[in-house]
Structure 1
Amino acid sequence: MTSALEELQKDLEEVKVLLEKSTRKRVRDALTAEKAKIETEVRNKMQQKAQEKAEPGDSDKPAPVPAGYTVKISNYGWDQSEKFVKIYITLTGVHQVPLENVQVHFTERSFDLLVKNLNGKSYSMIVNNLLKPISVEGSSKKVKTDTVLILCRKKAENTRWDYLTQVEKECKEKEKPSYDAEADPSEGLMNVLKKIYEDGDDDMKRTINKAWVESREKQAKGDTEF
C-alpha cells in the first residue's frame, strides 16, 4: 500500500514535469505555488517520520509542545468598522493559556498569529498581502473566551474593504462573466486553480499569495519572461 509520503512525492514529480512544459506565465505561477505547497507537505511528513523513529528515551523528557507539531488555522471570520478590520479565530480554551503564549506580529500588509502550548499543540495563522495597508502601531489582539480577535487598524479610515486580501479580490473579479466570447485557452485551468485557492488550507493560500506577489513584482520591474 502506497504511503501518504510516497503519494506526495509522486504529486511533486508530476507538478515539476508540468512546470517544465508550461509556457504561460500565469500557469507557471500557479504551478510554482502548488509545487511549494507540496514540498512543504513532504518536509512535514519527513519530520513526522523522523520524530516517530526517535529513541525511546526521548519520550521521557518533558516536552509540552512537541517539535514541529503546529496546527495551521484555516477557519476564521472577519468584519470591519470605520477604523478596524477584525479577524475572529475560534480556539477552544485559548483564554486559559498565559497571555504571552498568544503572539501576533504585524507588518503594513500582513499579520501572523502563533498560539503556543494550547492543549499540547501550537496553532499558527499567517495572512499575507492584505487588501490595503494597516497601521502596525495601531493594530493589536484581544483574547476572549475560546476566541482570538485580531484588530488591524486601517491606515485610511472610513474606507471599505470588500476583501481581506488582494488575492481574494483577484479571484473574485476573475469569476465575473467575461464579455469576450473567445476565452483564453488557459482560463479553464485558472478557474480550477482559483477553486483550489478558495477550498485550500492556510498553506495553500499562503503559497499562492507568495506566487502572486512575486509575479506582480516582476511585472513592476518590466520583466516579461515567461
Structure 2
Amino acid sequence: MLEFLFILYILVLFIFPIPGVAIALGLSTSYFLYRKNLLWKNQPDPGKKIVILAFITGAANIIISLILGAALAFTVHLLIFENIYLFSFNFIFCSLIAMRWFNFLHRLHRYFITKYLHSGIVAGGNDPFAILIGLRASTGWGRGMTPIFLDSGTLQWQDQQVRFAGVFTNLVFEKGTLISADKVSAEKIKIIPAPKYRVHQAESYLLALRDQFYPFRSRELRDRLLDILKTLKPIENK
C-alpha cells in the first residue's frame, strides 16, 4: 500500500509539479511540528528551555542559509546567466548545502547554555560541546525513532570511558553500559545503551557534536570517540 501511494505521488509530482511540491512541503512541515510537539511533551521540565533554544537557533540557521542561498543564486542570475529555472535550482541547491555544511550559531548556542542554564560549562573551555538526543520507538504517527528528550553539555573522555555532562543528564559510558555505537554522519554517533543504563526511558541516544562551524570537521573527534566506545565490550541484546 505504501509503495503504491509513493509511486502515485511521484506521478502527481511529474504531472502537477506545483501542487506536488505544496503537498510535500505541507506533509513534511506537519510531521516536523508533530515530532517537535512530542519532544516538548516528553522533555523533562528542567530541559524545556533547551528545546526552545534549539528550536530558535535551528530556525535561525535555516533563515541564514536561505538568505545565503538567495544571495548566491541572485549573483549568478545577475552576472552569469538570467534564467528563472537556473535561479530556482541554485537557490534550492545552495540553501541545502548551507544548511548541511554550516552551523552559524554553534558558539551562540553554547554561550546561552553556559550563561543561563549550566554554570558548569565553560564558555571558552576546551571540552567539546555536544547535544544528546534520547530516542525511542515511535508510538504515534509515523515510523522510526521518536525524540523524547534533548540535552546540551560537554564531553570528557579517557581510555575506557566517555562522559557527557549536560544540563539535566549526566551519562558515563564505560565497560558493560552499552550495546553498540555507530557513526550516523560526520558529526553524529548513535549509541544503544544496555537496558539497565537507560535514562529518561530512551532506547537509544543520538550524540551530535556541535563544536565546529563546519560540522564535517568533527569527523576526527567523532572517530576518536567511536574508537573508545567500541573498546567498551558490547553486551549481546537478548
Same fold (TM over 0.5): no
TM-score, reference length from structure 1: 0.31
Query: Taking CA–CA contacts closer than 8 Å with sequence separation of 6 or more, which of the two structures ends up with the larger relative contact order?
Result: 1
Pick the structure with more helix per residue: 2
TM-score, reference length from structure 2: 0.29
